[in-house]
Amino acid sequence: MVSSECGNLVVLGLGLIGGSLARAVRENGFCERIIGCGHRAPSLERALELGVIDEYTLDVDSAFRSADIFVICTPTLTASSVLEQLLPQMGADGPVVTDVASVKGSLRDTALRVAGAMPPRLVLAHPIAGSERSGVDASRADLFVKHRVIITPVEGNEPAAVQRVRRMWESTGAEVIDMAVGTHDAVLAATSHLPHVLAYTLVDALAGSSDSEEIFRCAAGGFRDFTRIASSDPTMWRDIALANRDALLAAMDDFSEHLGRLRCAVAEGDGDTLQDTFMRAKEARDAFAEILAQRDQ
Amino acid sequence: MVSSECGNLVVLGLGLIGGSLARAVRENGFCERIIGCGHRAPSLERALELGVIDEYTLDVDSAFRSADIFVICTPTLTASSVLEQLLPQMGADGPVVTDVASVKGSLRDTALRVAGAMPPRLVLAHPIAGSERSGVDASRADLFVKHRVIITPVEGNEPAAVQRVRRMWESTGAEVIDMAVGTHDAVLAATSHLPHVLAYTLVDALAGSSDSEEIFRCAAGGFRDFTRIASSDPTMWRDIALANRDALLAAMDDFSEHLGRLRCAVAEGDGDTLQDTFMRAKEARDAFAEILAQRDQ
C-alpha cells in the first residue's frame, strides 16, 4: 500500500464541494482517514452511508484537534464564523486549515481582525467547480478533474502548509494556480458574481413586466443558456454578493459604464460602434471557447 | 400524389432559415415547386446541389411574378430594401408576401411609408429558431419542429393570406401564434435582443480590462453559458439593434433601473433585498425551465 501524504483530513460541511473533495481524496489515497464534520447528523449519516467519509463528529473543536488538514467547506458567510471559532486555536504546530469559499478577502479580513495577522497554516483556496445540483448526493470524485483551484497564499504563510494544500488539490486532478487575494476577488466578481447578478436581474425584471407570460412563452435557446445561472441557490449568492461587496460593485459599475456607451450608440443609430463592440466581444468569446476546448481535450 | 396547397414558393435568401424552410416544405409537399432567389449564384447553386430548391433565379422581379408565396429570408435591414423594391408591385391578386426577420415594426413602417398602408397580402412573421451555425449547409428540414412562429397580422390583411402563411409554417411542424407588431418587438427585445446586448457588453468590458487574461483563464461553466450568445454574428445583431431601436432602448432602461436597485442593495449590505430578488428570479427561471421541458416532450 502506498503511504498517504496526510493522516486525518477533516471536511467541515458535506455538500457538493465538501463531499466531492472527500470522495476524491478517499479514492486517491492522499490521506489515511476522512472525518466528516457538521452540525446536522442526518447529512453526515448520509455521507457515511454513501462511503464518502470514514467517520463523523458534530464537535468542531475535537475534529480540529484530530486533524492534519482541516477544510472548511461551508457556504461563504458560515466559513467566516467557523474561522472566528477556530482562529484562537490555530498554532504553529496545529493542522493546516483551508477553505473552498468563493470570496477570499472577507475571510482574510476575519483572520486579520480576530488574530491580528494571517496564521502561518491558514491557506485560503477556491476550487472553481460546481454544478446545478447540490448536496452530498450530487458529489462526485471527478468533480475537480481539469478544473482550476486558486490558492491565495500570503506572506506570513508557512511554505509547507501552502504546499500541502496544493498537493491535496492536485491529487483530485485539479490544476492549481496561485493568485493574490484581491486579484482573485476581482476576477471572480467579473467572471462569476457579476454574471449571476445580471442573470438574476434580467429574469426578475422580465418576471415583473406586464408581458411576462408572453415573454417566457416566446423565449428560446439563447435566453435559456443566458439565464441558466438564475436558477442558482439565492442564499448562497446573497452571501457571495455581501462578502465580495467592493469587487462586485466595481464590476457592476464597469459593466454599467460600458452598457451606457452602447445605449448611446443604439439611441443615435451609431451602427459602427455597435458593430465594433459586438465584433470585439465575439473575438474574445471565440478565443475563450478555444481555451475551453483545449482544456476539455 | 397529394395535391399541394401552393404552387410556387419563392425563398429569397438561402441561409440557415430560408434553407431550412425550403427543405421542410419540399419534404412535406406543401408546395409544388420551390424557387430559390438571391444575388449570389454560387450559394444558389449550392442550394440546388443540396436538393434544397428545385430551381433558382437571380432576378427578384421575375421570381416575384411567378410566386404564389414569396418569403423574404434575408437579414433584417436587407429585408426592408427588398420590401421597398416589391411594394409597388404588390396588388390584390399577386403572391402572398411574408418574411422571417427578427423585428416587425421596422418592416411595417417601411410598408406604411412606401405604400401608405399595409398591402392586404403582406403578412409579417418571425420563426423563433436558429443555430450557432449559419448558411444553407447548416439548414435542416426539422429546424422549426416544436418551435414558435409568431405571425403579426394587421387589420388590412386579407384573412386568406394570413391563413396561407399560417399553414405554411404549420406544415414545418412549428407552433404558430399571433401577436401585435408592437408586442412582438417588445417581447423579442426582452428575451433576445437585450440578452445579446448584455452578453456582448460583458465580454467586451472584460476583454478590455487589465486582468483580462486571468479573467478568461479562470472563467467556468456558468460564464460559458452566459456568454455563448456573444459569439453570434456581429452584423446581424447590429442590424437588429438598429431596427428595433425603441423597444431595445426601453428594455435596456428597464434592465438598468433594476440593476441600479440591486446595486444599492449590494452597497448597503441589504441581504433581504438581494435574497428576495434572487428568489423571485429563481422561481421565474425554474418555471421557464418547466415550460421548456414540456415543449421538448
pLDDT tens-digit map of B46-57: 999 999 999 999
Q: Which residues contact B170 (CB under 8 A, 6 or more apart)?
A: B176
pLDDT of residue B213: 84
pLDDT of residue B2: 53
Average pLDDT, chain B: 94
Mean pLDDT within A228-241: 93
Q: Tell whether the model's pLDDT for residue B71 goes beyond 70.
A: yes
Interface of A with B in 180-199 (CB under 8 A): 183, 186-188, 190-192, 194-199
pLDDT of residue B58: 97
Q: Closest residue of B to A264, CA-based?
A: B249
A179 dihedral zone (left: phi>0; alpha: psi -120 to 50; beta): beta
Cross-chain residue pair B241–A202, CB shorter than 8 Å: no
Pairwise CA distance, residues A109 & A117, whole Å: 9
Q: Tell whether the model's pLDDT for residue B212 goes beyond 90.
A: no
Question: Of the candidates B150, B199, B259, which has its C-beta nearest A256's C-beta?
Answer: B259
CA–CA–CA angle A48, A51, A57 (5° rounding):
30
Host H or E run for residue B7: strand B6-12
Q: Tell whether the model's pLDDT for residue B3 goes beyond 70.
A: no
Mean pLDDT within A283-293: 90
Query: Shortest Cα distance from B273 to chain A (angstroms)?
Result: 9
pLDDT tens-digit map of A113-172: 999 999 999 999 999 987 667 889 999 999 999 999 999 999 999 999 999 999 999 999
Q: With contact defined as beta carbons under 8 Å apart, do B293 and B146 qualify?
A: no
pLDDT of residue B132: 65
pLDDT tens-digit map of B166-196: 999 999 999 999 999 999 999 999 999 999 9
Mean pLDDT within B33-58: 95
Cross-chain residue pair B227–A288, CB shorter than 8 Å: yes
Average pLDDT, chain A: 94
pLDDT of residue B30: 96
More confident residue, B91 or B24: B24
From the list A31, A29, A60, A30, the residue with the least C-alpha distance to A44 is A60
Judged on CB neighbours under 10 Å (0-12, 13-18, 19+), B269 is exposed
Q: With contact defined as beta carbons under 8 Å apart, do A64 and A35 qualify?
A: no
Q: Does B250 touch chain A (CB under 8 A)?
A: no
Q: Does A284 touch chain B (CB under 8 A)?
A: yes
Query: Shortest Cα distance from A143 to chain B (angstroms)?
Result: 13
More confident residue, A213 or B139: B139
Residues of chain B contacting residue A128, judged by C-beta atoms under 8 Å apart: 218, 220
Q: Tell whether the model's pLDDT for residue A80 goes beyond 60.
A: yes
Cross-chain residue pair B252–A263, CB shorter than 8 Å: yes
Judged on CB neighbours under 10 Å (0-12, 13-18, 19+), A210 is exposed
pLDDT of residue B55: 97
pLDDT of residue A1: 44
More confident residue, B213 or B252: B252
Residue ranges of domains in chain A: 6-179, 185-296
Q: Tell whether the model's pLDDT for residue A2 goes beyond 60.
A: no
CATH class of B185-295: mainly alpha
Pairwise CA distance, residues A121 & A95, whole Å: 7
ipTM: 0.91
Cross-chain residue pair A258–B205, CB shorter than 8 Å: yes
Host H or E run for residue B57: strand B55-57
pLDDT of residue B1: 44
Query: Shortest Cα distance from B232 to chain A (angstroms)?
Result: 7
Pairwise CA distance, residues B17 & B47, whole Å: 13
Phi and psi at A127, nearest 5°, equal -75, 125
C-alpha cell at B38: 438571391
Q: Tell whether the model's pLDDT for residue B278 goes beyond 60.
A: yes
Q: Closest residue of B to A278, CA-based?
A: B234
Q: Does A292 touch chain B (CB under 8 A)?
A: yes
Residues of chain B contacting residue A191, judged by C-beta atoms under 8 Å apart: 206, 215-216, 218-220, 223
Same fold flag, A6-179 and A185-296: no
Q: Tell whether the model's pLDDT for residue A258 goes beyond 70.
A: yes
CATH pick for A6-179 out of 3.40.50.300, 3.40.50.720, 1.25.10.10, 3.30.70.100: 3.40.50.720
Which CATH topology does A185-296 take? 6-phosphogluconate dehydrogenase C-terminal fold (1.10.3660)
Pairwise CA distance, residues B27 & B102, whole Å: 25
Pairwise CA distance, residues B192 & B174, whole Å: 19
A137-160 in b/e form (b: 16+ CB < 10 A) is eebebebbeebbbbbbbbeebbee
For a pLDDT cut of 90, what percent of chain B falls above it? 83
Q: With contact defined as beta carbons under 8 Å apart, do B12 and B37 qualify?
A: yes
Q: What is the pTM of this model?
A: 0.92
Residues of chain A contacting residue B264, judged by C-beta atoms under 8 Å apart: none
pLDDT tens-digit map of B80-124: 999 999 999 998 889 999 999 999 999 999 999 999 999 999 999
Q: Give the pLDDT band (50/70/90) at residue A292.
A: confident
Residues of chain A contacting residue B249, judged by C-beta atoms under 8 Å apart: 263, 266-267
Pairwise CA distance, residues B9 & B31, whole Å: 6
